[in-house]
Amino acid sequence: MHSDINMFDLFFQASFFVQLVMLSLIAMSVFSWAIIFQRHRLLKEASDHVQTFEKTFWSGVDLNTLYKDVSEKKDNINGLERLFCAGVKEYLRLNSADKPVPEAVMNGTYRAMNISLSRELSKMEIHLPTLATIGSISPYVGLFGTVWGIMNSFIALGVQQNATLEMVAPGIAEALIATALGLFAAIPAVAAYNRFTVSMSKLESDYINFMDELSGILHRQTYSTSKAKK
């Protein structure tokens, strides 16, 4: 049996409160998809940048030359470039003292890179809590709209002397749309949040590995410089 009632009809026939719930879920879904596309692009660019910079870093180029080239970009640097500049800049500053203490030089260098790491990760994590919130509350918002709609349907049914399924079904159907919209908003948000969390963990691991590798190189240079001055 074919029904002439579609989702749009059910939406316009729903109560004002249920319509408000549906519109809020649609807005959350649109907002979550905007975050998903934006975060996906940002994390992909960051991942590609890691590979590109590490390839340049391990190509045998002189660190001072690389530092000069990267520093000339000024505000256009990000990711590993920012960590690299922060570490080398602090290393050069501390190591330029008359009697540099190797331990103090390396501690200061690593601390400078760690601060840059925190800033980069904070930039990557923007809007991710919002995505997690949408994924967690959307089903409950949809369920609340469904409960409200079904409650109104049964209240209206109670005043009818001859109740039939045809009288109850549209009200229940329009209420269940709220649950469907809640799931429609929640599922992509949760899946994307989990995916982005894994990508963030891998990116953080790549950053920390680079910091350790750069620290090892600068550590050897520090002790060789210290011996030369003696």
Please determine, for residue 175, whether its predicted confidence score (pLDDT) is greater than 90.
Answer: no
Q: Which of 225, 204, 12 lies closest to 106, judged by CA? A: 225
98-121: average pLDDT: 87
Alpha-carbon distance of 62 to 39, in angstroms, equals: 34
Q: What is the pLDDT, as a whole number, of residue 160?
A: 62
> Which has the closest alpha carbon to 175: 22, 23, 2?
22
Q: What pTM, to 2 d.p., does this model score? A: 0.80
Return the structure tokens found at 31.
């907002």
Q: CB-hemisphere CA count at 13 Å for 20?
A: 5
pLDDT value at residue 1 = 42
The 10s digit of each residue's pLDDT in 8-39 is: 666 667 778 888 888 999 999 999 999 999 99
Confidence of residue 177 (pLDDT cuts 50, 70, 90): confident
Q: What is the pLDDT of residue 6?
A: 63
* In the predicted structure, residue 2 carries a pLDDT above the cut 50: no
Domain coordinates in residue numbering, the chain: 63-229
| N-term to C-term CA, the chain | 95
Torsion sign, CA atoms 110, 222, 88, 43: negative
